[in-house]
Structure 1
Amino acid sequence: MGRYVIRIHSIIMLFVICFKRCLSQLGYNEGVPITEEFFIQKISGKHNEQLSRLLFPDWDLQKGLKFMDDKEALFRRLAAEQLEPVNGLKRLCKWIDDCGLKRGAVTNAPKPNAELLLSVLGLSDYFQIVVLANDCERAKPFPDPYLKGLQGLKASPNHTLVFEDSVPGITAAVAAGMRVLGITTRNPEHLLLEAGATFLIKDYNDPKLWAELEALQRETAETTAGS
């Protein structure tokens, strides 16, 4: 289980705050900030074409996508100043490096956003493959992005561990046959478990995560010694 790791877009804090500010400043809902519940139910984990249809059902698609483009540009300006990594991210990345594991990122974010976020976190060159929604015919919650990530890493789903914080992301990874650790940074625990998360962690310093990683490391060492 410990040979390959796919790391996901769920590596940032304050994402919800930035997203809510973007919609409010651009006049969505007459400038009234959306609620946390609305974000979870309508927005979390979805790509922009889905969002434009959900948020603006009476608009034509191009008008909705133009709003989404404006939202993304504002988000990038806010993100460069406000976003910070989830606690324990550097520790996890070092552990992955020390173990010599492969790693990839799979996200529904547009390419400019993904590149900015990885740059802000100092991870621009960290992942061996980055799969975006536009790289596949179907984005999350379909398994296509994760399957493409597995193909790029030449990895088996049985030897892959996924970190996800959204229901569409967990649904996609489970459908691709992978084990998923749900991160409770921006979605209710029961929704992540219902989507198929194996278990939940609060951040990358969570003792449950490190107990699991140590167990996987021992399992790998025993398998190698016995081969």
Structure 2
Amino acid sequence: MKTALLFDLDGTLVDSDAEHLVAFQRIFAPHGIELDRSEYAANIMGASNAMIARRYLSHLPPHEQAATLDAKEEAYRAGLGDLEPIAGAAALLDFADRRGLKRAVVTNAPRVNAEKVLAALGIEGRLPIVVIGGELARSKPDPLPYLTALERTGALAERSLAFEDSLSGVRAAVAAGLAVVGMTTTLSSRTLIEAGATFAARDFTDPRIFALIEARINSGDEEGAKA
């Protein structure tokens, strides 16, 4: 099977942006940096820590930038309570099992965050491939994380799809040649579609998701028949 489902983590598999915002507010406040939800959505959501450091912490030496963002990640992990996946995620993974679809997580989050969140959601064993943008030469919005996920799953971009909630994530997936379902946990449908999403959905129960997956699977069969 050359079809893979590729999932962003924060805001896609789990609605965790509020917890991230609180952690950023707490750690950035001593530096005189004020963040509200709109600023977070515009400039932080989906960005790598390196990008966030360049935007907000350029006045600090590199080691202090790293220490500040490490403190933010520790504050985020410490503040995590009970987590539940976005509605319909388990059913979608069941569907992927039945159809023999590969799957991976593709995130700009640090690996320790990703592993803790996936374990808390109880789905770490169902998403064995985790691609971390910060461990690659380039993170989202560059397509490299998604291209890496395709390589590791052995899937083809034209037969696969991504699930994303941020502008940087949607753009990265589109640039990798993937169809994208935009998740409206924070951004509007219009914003996600303008960034390149095929359509936007509130959660994984949207029947259009399953129709799109079937269309991507069958596209390969149609191409083979034409050949």
TM-score between the two structures when normalised by the length of structure 2: 0.88
Most deviating of 66-75 and 54-63? 54-63
Q: What is the match of residue 208 of structure 1?
A: 208
Structure 1 runs not aligned, ≥5 long: none
The question of whether the paired residues in 2 share the 8 Å contact of 1:135 and 1:145 is answered with no
Shift in alpha-carbon separation, 1:2–1:95, aligned structure 2, 3 A: farther
RMSD: 2.6
Given residue 141 of structure 1, which amino acid in structure 2 is its aligned partner? P
Q: What is the match of residue 49 of structure 1?
A: 50
Shift in alpha-carbon separation, 1:48–1:221, aligned structure 2, 3 A: closer
Q: 2:14 aligns with which of 6, 12, 15?
A: 12
1:186-225 residue pairs with structure 2 within 5 A? 186-213=186-213, 215=215, 219=218
Q: What is the CA-CA distance between 1:91 and the residue it aligns to?
A: 1.0
Tell me the percent identity.
32
Structure 1 residues 45-70: Cα deviation after superposition (integer angstroms, max 9, x where no partner): 00111112212232222212211100
Most deviating of 16-25 and 90-99? 16-25
How many residues are paired up? 224
Partner Cα separation in structure 2 for residue 29 and residue 178 of structure 1: 41
Partner Cα separation in structure 1 for residue 88 and residue 32 of structure 2: 35
Q: What is the match of residue 74 of structure 1?
A: 75
Q: What is the CA-CA distance between 1:123 and the residue it aligns to?
A: 1.6
Q: Give secondary structure in 2 for the equivalent of 1:116.
A: helix
Partner Cα separation in structure 2 for residue 3 and residue 27 of structure 1: 41
Shift in alpha-carbon separation, 1:87–1:2, aligned structure 2, 3 A: farther
Shift in alpha-carbon separation, 1:129–1:165, aligned structure 2, 3 A: same
Given residue 69 of structure 1, which amino acid in structure 2 is its aligned partner? D
Shift in alpha-carbon separation, 1:2–1:209, aligned structure 2, 3 A: farther
Q: What is the match of residue 159 of structure 1?
A: 159
Q: What is the CA-CA distance between 1:36 and the residue it aligns to?
A: 1.6
TM-score between the two structures when normalised by the length of structure 1: 0.88
1:106-185 residue pairs with structure 2 within 5 A? 106-185=106-185
Q: Give secondary structure in 1 for the equivalent of 2:126.
A: coil
Structure 2 runs not aligned, ≥5 long: none
